[in-house]
Amino acid sequence: MSCTESAPKTVEAPAVVVAPLPVAAAAAPIAPVVSLPRINEQAPAFAAKTTFGPRSLADYKGKWLVLFSHPADFTPVCTTEFIAFAKAADEFKSIGTELLGLSIDSIFSHIAWVRNIEEKFGVAIPFPIIEDLKMDVAKAYGMIHPGAGDTSAVRATFIIDPEGILRAMVYYPMTNGRSVAEIMRLVKGLQTSLKNGVATPEGWQPGDKVLVGAPVTVEDVKTRLAAGLETTDWYFSKKKLA
């Protein structure tokens, strides 16, 4: 037997297999949140440059206001809408209502466009149009919808009462024009409801019967049934305004 010691044997550690970490799926882009004003609350205040000089929401105190946006000047659908609003401007004024347009185009674009409408279509635009290049008013009123286009404002319409309270808002896509006659009907309906404490039914027109709110107590039901209204059932009554 040899007196020399043999070299210690090297024991290899077992190989460790490291599983690759799962690759996380790319997160879907988060759509920006569009903040909208709320009906029956104070309309967002604004001060802006327009084709008629500076305008602010405070300038319209004591009057009804139809504030409406359009995607862009020199576009076909917007042109038809502006012609219709212009032709109805006197009737809006007769019911104490002012018109105010808006897009993110410049004052110079607005002026050139309204001059073009008068030259090519024979219609003068008798109301101001807001220049909103920084989109301050458009964002305050929720007019910018990224899914509907780029940074153009959608066709939004806001009806604001003489105290600056937002009473109605309607949004249309860029591809479809609004009915100015329906906006007129809505303004008249809102004025009727606020003045008389009533509601207006589907398709209501001035002079039609209005709806009386449903009773909320048993005693109210008894009173309603004896009130001489046109009552179909205890919750459904119509009446003619004087």
The model's pLDDT over 168-197, given as tens digits with 9 standing for 90+, comes to 999 998 899 999 999 999 999 999 999 999
pLDDT value, residue 4: 46
Tell whether the torsion through CA atoms of 220, 239, 162 and 54 is positive or negative: positive
- pLDDT of 148 reads 47
Q: Which residues are CB-neighbours of 40 under 8 A, at least 6 positions away?
A: 165, 166, 167
In the chain the domains, ranked by start, together with CATH numbers, are: 47-177 (3.40.30.10)
Q: How many Å apart are CA 122 and CA 86, to the nearest integer?
A: 11
In contact, 228 and 238? CB cutoff 8 Å: no
pLDDT in tens, 105-119: 999 999 999 999 999
* pLDDT in the model for residue 58: 98
pLDDT number for residue 215? 93
Alpha carbon distance 34, 41 (integer Å): 18
Closest CA to 172 of 183, 162, 163, 161: 183
Reduced 3-state DSSP string for 134-147: CCHHHHHCCCECHH
Whole-prediction pTM? 0.83
**Residue 39 zone, left/alpha/beta (φ > 0; ψ -120 to 50; rest):** beta
Q: What is the pLDDT of residue 206?
A: 96
Distance between CA atoms of 201 and 60, rounded to whole angstroms?
29
Feature table: binding site: 155
DSSP class of residue 39? Answer: T
Which candidate, 226, 198, 196, places its Cα nearest to that of 210?
198
What percent of the chain stands above pLDDT 90?
75
Tens digit of each residue's pLDDT (9 = 90 or more) over 148-161: 455 567 789 999 99
In the chain the beta strands, taken as DSSP E runs, fall at 47-50, 53-56, 64-69, 97-103, 129-131, 155-160, 166-172, 210-212, 230-233, 236-239
Please, which pLDDT band fits residue 22 given cuts at 50, 70 and 90? low
Binding residue ranges for substrate: 155
Closest by alpha carbon to 100, among 148, 166, 188, 159? Answer: 159
Higher pLDDT, 13 or 185: 185
Bigger pLDDT: 111 vs 8:
111
Taking the CB of residue 197, how many other CB atoms lie within 10 A of it? 10
pLDDT for residue 7 is more than 50: no
Query: What are phi and psi for residue 209, nearest 5 degrees?
Result: -65, 150
Least-confidence region, from 5-9, 11-15, 184-188, 206-210: 5-9
Residues assigned a catalytic role: 78
C-alpha to C-alpha distance for 145 and 151, rounded to whole angstroms: 8
